[in-house]
Amino acid sequence: MTQQGVVAAGHPASAAAGAAALRAGGNAVDAAVAAVLTSFVAEPLLTGLGAGGYMLVAPPGQRPLLLDFFVETPGRGADARPAPMTDVLVTFEGTTQVFQIGASSCATYGVPAGVAAAAEQFGRMPLAELTAPAARLARTGVRVNAMQAYVFELLVDVVGSTPEAAARFTVDGRPPREGELLRDPELADALDRLGAEGAAPFYTGDIGCAVADRVCAGGGVLTRADLEAYRVVRRNPLCVTYGGRQVFTNPPPSAGGSRLVGALAHLETTGHAPDAPGIAAALEAGVRNGPAPGDALGSTTHTSVLDAEGWACSVTCSNGTGSGVTVPGTGVHLNNMLGEHDLFVPDGVGERLSSAMAPTVVRRDGTTELVLGSAGSSRIRSALLQVLVNVLDRGDSPQRAVDAPRIHVERGTAYAEPGIDAVALEAAAYPVTRFAAPNLFFGGCQAVRRDPATGALDGGADARRCGAVVVV
């Protein structure tokens, strides 16, 4: 039977939505958009209409390009300086980090504009056909899986910070538990609006006005003028040659792609298929200009798609930890990117924030071979580098490559899953923090591939974050 495509995503419902779009005749971009829209329902604290992201599109026979719809600094025409943000403590794998939330933490969101632009410019299905399944799921409900239950527990103080967020994201005042059914009729209505009217209501229409007014009333500086001025930006991806292939990834002002390119360039000169100290050295080489932006949790999700015609799409989105600011009647839970201490926030107004996200596509002789990306903040570059090495150098299948044990290096310390040679790392003068089992700390990489020998499509989903892959 002829394959139509393959989708890997951060939640089974998201992957299923992407697969359904392929079966309906959509291309890889349609499938990615469908998966992203469904992730708002299935992964509601990681992404959403108030989030930002990046999409790397690789049309067959054409150079890949990057749609930047990440968040930007607000403040156009603001009447006053922002009020103080609210501190919340989030303890993740034994590390407690301070995040700041509230209206003053909200940056100008880009996801509605990004998904609408992607569908219009590169898809073949009407946007309404892509939003409809997500809207139905929001009305009928999705069962909370283990990953999402954990995220709800971690971020309980965020979603409990306002009555509106608590009403939308808690059950009887507590975090939803694994197996419970979550419905979000407000989000369903907003998705219907997005499908029928495009992104305009969220930027120049009634939804945008309601969001800006609520944020400004709460002491933030996200104004109607900020939303009216927001634009999706096309960028030329970074490209590095690795093992006779071209690796395309997220360019500046994002930092994640630059760090990945630096690490790959290091391995290209020092040797492929490195051992654990070699991976550690490459990761350090990639960040010599400063640490990659990121936070302990990495509240992010990723989707990778390849189709039979050669279209490829890699898209990563994030809402930060969320601000707790939800605007009744809009379906929007705003990001807290201005309160993420490890992100570089520009001083000017209307400037894109930097990010660790790095959607990536690998081509050989002009044909896309591998599509991947990851959640995990500063660990994104580590996850991607090791999956790339496992597939391209060691010949692993995408699933084996994603499942393989990982390391991460941050400020001279190595973090290692079981199966990593910690003794060799210590011999190379790296202090090592050992994990007892594979852990979501090390990211959530979703990868899909066209086998260069057979042309068959396959993929790998990251069990660390309950990912899923569907071949159609």
Residue entry with tokens 């994104």: 380
Query: Under DSSP, is residue 58 helix (H, G, I), strand (E, B) or coil?
Result: strand
For residues 376 and 97, the answer to whether their CB atoms sit within 8 Å is no
In whole angstroms, what is the distance from residue 298 CA to residue 470 CA?
Answer: 24
Query: Which among 111, 127, 141, 97 is positioned nearest to 49, based on CA atoms?
Result: 111
Query: Which among 360, 333, 381 is positioned nearest to 162, based on CA atoms?
Result: 333
Annotated catalytic residue, options 300, 303, 321, 368: 300
For residues 52 and 337, the answer to whether their CB atoms sit within 8 Å is yes
300 is catalytic: yes
Residue entry with tokens 């520009």: 346
In whole angstroms, what is the distance from residue 264 CA to residue 270 CA?
Answer: 10
H or E element at residue 142: strand 142-143
Q: Tell me the backbone φ, ψ of residue 469, rounded to 5 degrees.
A: -130, 140
Residue entry with tokens 């944020």: 215
Query: Under DSSP, is residue 36 helix (H, G, I), strand (E, B) or coil?
Result: helix
- What one-letter code names the amino acid at 111? V
Active site residues: 300
